[in-house]
Structure 1
């Protein structure tokens, strides 16, 4: 199964490389925001530059997984190859694992510009322990957004999935406080942010890279969202399989 999963991952990566705008697009907005908003305004402040970088990393994790899985899965479902692959003796497991591996690689590639800009153009600082904690936090927060993308991809046709993903990403980013420094968002955003998946993810990242206090309530909310997205994704997958193969 591992060999087949790697083959599917390579196939997914080749598909993306052949349309490079898909990768460029997922990295453009965070890199653009770093250059035009973070660097000139808080780039010289080590604390705020570090938190801003963590927010942009959270934004990349959200958008990368939301679009790769939400739109990618929906588009694959519309192709003849998808139902054929799901009827093979090995089942859908290798292809699913391959998609996850390819998604992690593409997400990492999208994160690199943000990290490089923070390193060379800002005063953002991080300890070795903070860096390792941040890597762990990225892995943790990628789970709910991957499940969110899968829920969208298996629930909706491609055209609808594109619209839903595009409509969701900005309100989630703004409502989660990713566009402002910790504690600096408008009052209503500060109230709702800890209970949104983006707000919980951002607070986990802020706690990993700096002295931001660990927020148990927002982490519990993030876990609850993860469970909810997992339930919707599993339901949507079973419904899709029942509709097309029963």
Structure 2
């Protein structure tokens, strides 16, 4: 655990040394709140709360896909990464440290979303619902963390940037994050349950309100987690075999 915390501290220090990286991780969710939620949520607390929950999912997705997808690919290109792999501690502390740093950055990116929701909308949640939403945030980070790791260990940095950008908006739009629950266009409602973003969003909606989760969305979210974990593990082993065998 101590080594994991050391790696997490290293990752965070490296990020904080480039302030624009911190601004970037918080910009897209905050901008989405300002452009898609504040003007259209009106005085309806339920609509505003659900929209905020969707933007929280949006923030979790964007932070983890870009941080892990691009960050891991860039780290692999640096001499420091091969050296770390030669150390006797193994990969577990590095993975744990990276995940802890990612969770910290995720929580940081959520601050503008929560502040905008509290100040500029009618979104309201109780204390227990807020705590439930925090716990749900950690859970829904899992598939997007695995997706980012799969991208980062599979591709060089230039390709990882492109793939992360290509996946980002279709997952958000196709999962219905830009629409109130049940009000997406017909084709979005058809494909949304099969995307990980929809299962994550429905868990968030359920944590802050009375939304009934679609069982298909939860099953598919579990399937995505298993598949992405398998791809990330395969990509890591392939990268290790190519560069260290």
TM-score range, shorter chain: over 0.9
The alignment partner of 2:180 has SS state of coil
CA distance in 2, matches of 1:186, 1:49: 19
Q: What is the alpha-carbon root mean square deviation over aligned residues?
A: 1.0
The alpha-carbon deviation at position 92 of structure 1 amounts to 2.0
Q: Is the 8 A contact 2:103 2:138 kept in 1?
A: no
In the TM superposition, 1:67-216 aligns within 5 A as 67-216=66-215
- Provide the rounded CA distance (Å) in 1 between the counterparts of 2:166 and 2:82: 28
TM-aligned CA deviation for residue 89 of structure 1: 1.2
Q: Deviations over 1:51-110 (max 9, x none)?
A: 000000000000000001000001000111101100111122222211111111111000
Instruction: Indicate if the aligned counterparts of 1:43 and 1:121 stay in contact, CA closer than 8 A.
Output: no
The unaligned stretches of length 5 or more in structure 2 are none
Aligned residues of 1:54 and 1:209 also touching (Cα < 8 A): yes
Asked whether the 8 Å contact 1:71–1:153 carries over to 2, the reply is yes
Is 1:58 aligned to 2:68, yes or no? no
| Aligned length in residues | 245
- The answer for the alignment partner of 2:30 in structure 1 is 31
Shift, 1:37, TM fit? 2.6
Detail structure 1 runs of 4+ shifted over 6 Å in the superposition.
none
Contact 2:146 2:232 in 1 (8 A): yes
2: distance between equivalents of 1:189 and 1:224?
20
Whether the aligned pair in 2 keeps the contact of 1:57 and 1:114 (CA below 8 Å) is yes
Change (3 A) 1:126 1:137: same
Cα deviation per residue 1:104-158 (whole Å; 9 max; x = unaligned)?
A: 1111000111011111211111122322221221111100100000001111111
Per mean C-alpha deviation after superposition, the further-off stretch among 4-13 and 57-66 is 4-13
Q: Is the contact between residue 51 and residue 180 of structure 2 (CA under 8 Å) also seen in structure 1?
A: yes
Greater CA drift, 117-126 or 160-169: 117-126
Q: 5+ unaligned residues in a row in structure 1: which ranges?
A: none
Counterpart CA distance in 2 for 1:200 and 1:38 is 20
- Please identify, of 91-100 and 227-236, the stretch whose mean Cα deviation from structure 2 is larger: 91-100
Q: Is the 8 A contact 1:44 1:123 kept in 2?
A: yes
How does the TM-score come out when normalised to structure 2? 0.97
